[in-house]
Amino acid sequence: MENEVLEFDIGLGSGADDDDDDDAVDIDIDDDLPSTPPHHLTTSHNSASTSATRIYLPEGDLSDLEPYEGMEFESEEAAKAFYNSYARRVGFSTRVSSSRRSRRDGAIIQRQFVCAKEGFRNLNEKRTKDREIKRPRVITRVGCKASLSVKMQDSGKWVVSSFVRGHNHELVPPDQVHCLRSHRQISGPAKTLIDTLQAAGMGPRRIMSALIKEYGGISKVGFTEVDCRNYMRNNRQRSMEGDIQLLLDYLRQMQSENPDFFYALQGDDGQFTGNVLWADPRARANYSYFGDTVTFDTTYRSNRYRLPFAPFTGVNHHGQPVLFGCAFILNETEASFVWLFQTWLTAMSGRHPLSITTDHDAVIRLAIMQVFPETRHRFCKWHIFKKCQEKLSHVLLKHPTFESEFHKCVNLTELIEEFESCWLSLVDRYELRDHEWLQTIYSDRRQWVPVYLRDAFFAEMSITQRSDSMNSYFDGYVNASTNLNHFFKLYERAIESRNEKEVKADYDTMNTNPVLKTPSPMEKQASGLYTRKLFVRFQEELVGTLTFMASKSEDDGESITYQVAKFGEDHKAYHVKFNVLEMKATCSCQMFEFSGLLCRHVLTVFRVTNVLTLPSRYILKRWTRNAKSNVILEERPTDVYTGYLESHTVRYNTLRHEAFKFVEEGSKSLETYNVAMGVLQEATTRVALATKNDGRAGDVNGRNKGDSASSGIRANYTSGNHLGISGQPLSEEDMDKKIQELRDELEYANRKCEVYRANLLSVLKDIEDHKLQLSIKVQSMKISLKGSI
């Protein structure tokens, strides 16, 4: 807000002003004031008014400061200042309503100053009724007639031509006058103190506390915390304008060194009007690997920091924060955030993330709804917890246990019904059901409470614990004292440090073998696929299955539902639905959907159903050591033995599933039992015969391919001749044998193909590992060279 004594209304009318008019005064404070009885006022009736109208007049002898007709001023500004000073003593706010210009030279020759509550809001204006008002403002104008009109004389002086003293509304007591718009101004000494405290890293709330203590009360400060906040923001923007050329020069230099460096300005180079965005080639490449979930971190946008800096970050395959781009936010309107997100999306080749996390901000939410309509938007839970300490400080002082109960309600509830019940119980117990901030975050609960977000991917290892990725990428580098001159060095240092940590994690993954804790083939498989940190997290879940039991609770013919719980804790059971034929499992805890790793409940079901290796659908490439590789190694098993285990598991589970249904039907009566037993005996004989033939096929497949007899058989069959070697027609039994032999040979050929494919993928994997090791060595050499320089 500009610190003017008065707000001007340049409109020519005086009775139909709209508070939302850009040309009209913008006063909405009066209706927000408490309805404290105005003790220094007296009321009477104006004879010119109807008997129902109440007129409020100043109390006491004000002849030394009250305007009167014929009163002279040296200038229009002097008249405004006097009327505003009078209004401050009486208890109302003023504005300029109308003016009259000379027909000769267009100069203003008459002004009318009015009470801020003069006139009425015009809701029928075309520009008001033809557009939707997102945040309607409170009604402040009530048709008050109090005013002062002045005219310019030939002598150049200004004379009061009319003065209306009475008001049709209550006036404001002295201890609240500082809240009125026309009386809120920041004095020179106050500005100096604000500048000093802001430079020390203090926010507006703490600065206002210091000012109140310095001046001896809020009414003596002369302005509100909102004015202080606006002054600090404007002050910061003015200081940034002086340094903005440094930013532009840096970005141009980076792009000249690498054409893939992306940057954009809202406006243009000559007329900078808004925000700045940039992304280096590494950030753009990282997004192509790990851009499924994004965090837009606006921590540095607060008044505590000198730089309105906001990075786009994500999570790499080691669970470390990774950079996707950066922005300087100098304009915080919805349109500017829309421009920012659209421009960033362009830099990222137009690929939308699955999810995005931001601070709890209404303007950012509106922008994201426009730019990322299909992306799951989450508010940062930890920012809300931090805000809780500020908004509910009085509750925390009175009830020390409230904070821990609040965290448990949010983090530890596993069902939506459980959270709703816990929340209502909490706010009722501490009498907070009507608390405005709690009502706000409760209405937004689907965007920050974990129980509502488990079905979306956020690349976090735990729903209840804070992930490393939620910590700012630049923590430890950018702080409250950082200015633009030092920013770029710290920015580059932070990026270099993060890259070194990723190289170190790559090295540890490639050159160290994890300690296996079970004989499970699945654990060995995972150790060769996942990065070290992700494997350790998976190993925790796998070992955790040893304390769980799974029991079948439902079978619909396609899927089996298992109840999974620790021994003796059936009341805390999870439900896993498993489709054997598709090798697809879903758990009620939804850990895989949220983090991309299978939970111990699904792994328990895999254990009891003899699934020995991880199905490929549950191995996300973004968590593997080959996350940045273009070779898809996990699409099919890379080991012949692993492939055998998976196919054997599918056959085993399919047969067992069908056998269970057969047993249930066959045991219903004596008749069905006898039929079932007869069928089983016949099936036993046929399976034994197939097993015997399978053994013979192994002998046939092992013989020399030049064998004349087998060659003759293949030649005769493939040519369409149904005769044997001696020229006699083949019997039906011989035909079946020949068909079986051909099937066996085809299966043998398929096995050889699998071996060749596995060998080829193994070679490709070795090449990728070698490339990665070379990359690590190059990065290490660069780091050592920088250190020696």
Average confidence (pLDDT) per 10 residues, the chain, 789 residues: 33 34 33 35 35 50 69 87 84 85 83 87 57 64 87 88 87 78 78 80 80 78 80 71 75 91 79 81 94 89 62 94 91 89 95 95 94 96 89 90 93 93 94 92 95 93 53 72 76 90 92 92 94 95 94 88 91 92 92 95 93 92 89 44 54 72 82 86 85 61 42 38 50 76 79 70 68 71 66
Same domain, 89 and 215: no
First to last CA, the chain: 51
Element containing residue 57 per DSSP (H, E): strand 55-58
CA distance 715 to 727: 13
Residues forming a β-bridge with 315: 321
Amino acid in the structure at residue 639: D
Same domain, 564 and 452: no
- Give me the residue label for tokens 């193994």: 762
Q: How many structural domains are present in the chain?
A: 4
Where does a domain end: 237, 257, 277?
257
Amino acid in the structure at residue 529: L
Where does a domain end: 497, 520, 537?
497
Q: How many CA atoms lie within 13 A of 319 on its CB side?
A: 18
Element containing residue 648 per DSSP (H, E): helix 640-666
Task: Look at residue 722 in the predicted model and tell me its pLDDT.
Answer: 44
Can you tell me whether residue 46 is helix, strand or coil?
A: coil
Contact between 632 and 619 under an 8 Å Cβ cutoff? The reply is no
Residue 747 lies in a domain: no
Residue 36 lies in a domain: no
Residue 705 lies in a domain: no
Residue among 522, 574, 586 at smallest CA distance from 548: 574
Same domain, 485 and 372: yes
Task: Look at residue 769 in the predicted model and tell me its pLDDT.
Answer: 67
Full residue range of the structural domain in which residue 461 is found: 259-497
Residues forming a β-bridge with 152: 158
CA distance 117 to 95: 9
Same domain, 271 and 209: no
Same domain, 487 and 526: no
Task: Look at residue 246 in the predicted model and tell me its pLDDT.
Answer: 80
Can you tell me whether residue 367 is helix, strand or coil?
A: helix
Same domain, 520 and 478: no
Phi/psi region, residue 431 (left: phi>0; alpha: psi -120 to 50; beta: rest), is left
Element containing residue 163 per DSSP (H, E): strand 158-164
Contact between 113 and 82 under an 8 Å Cβ cutoff? The reply is no
Task: Look at residue 164 in the predicted model and tell me its pLDDT.
Answer: 87
Name the token pair of 76. 């229009």
Task: Look at residue 39 in the predicted model and tell me its pLDDT.
Answer: 33
CA distance 240 to 89: 39
How far apart, in Å, are the Cα atoms of 42 and each of 47, 166, 261, 714? Answer: 16, 11, 70, 118
Contact between 116 and 182 under an 8 Å Cβ cutoff? The reply is yes
Contact between 473 and 495 under an 8 Å Cβ cutoff? The reply is no
Same domain, 221 and 321: no
CA distance 463 to 590: 10
Residue 395 lies in a domain: yes
Task: Look at residue 477 in the predicted model and tell me its pLDDT.
Answer: 78
Same domain, 157 and 195: no
- Give me the residue label for tokens 């050889």: 752
Residue 715 lies in a domain: no
CA distance 561 to 586: 9
Same domain, 294 and 367: yes
Residue among 210, 247, 233, 206 at smallest CA distance from 306: 233
CA distance 151 to 110: 4
Residue 567 lies in a domain: yes
Q: Which residues contact 471 (CB under 8 A, 6 or more apart)?
A: 321
Same domain, 191 and 104: no
Residue 558 lies in a domain: yes
The whole-model pTM stands at 0.62
Where does a domain end: 257, 274, 289?
257
Residue 727 lies in a domain: no
Q: Which residues contact 677 (CB under 8 A, 6 or more apart)?
A: 666
Task: Look at residue 95 in the predicted model and tell me its pLDDT.
Answer: 86
Same domain, 297 and 353: yes
CA distance 366 to 382: 21
Task: Look at residue 639 in the predicted model and tell me its pLDDT.
Answer: 46
Task: Look at residue 766 in the predicted model and tell me its pLDDT.
Answer: 66
Same domain, 226 and 290: no
Residues forming a β-bridge with 357: 295, 378
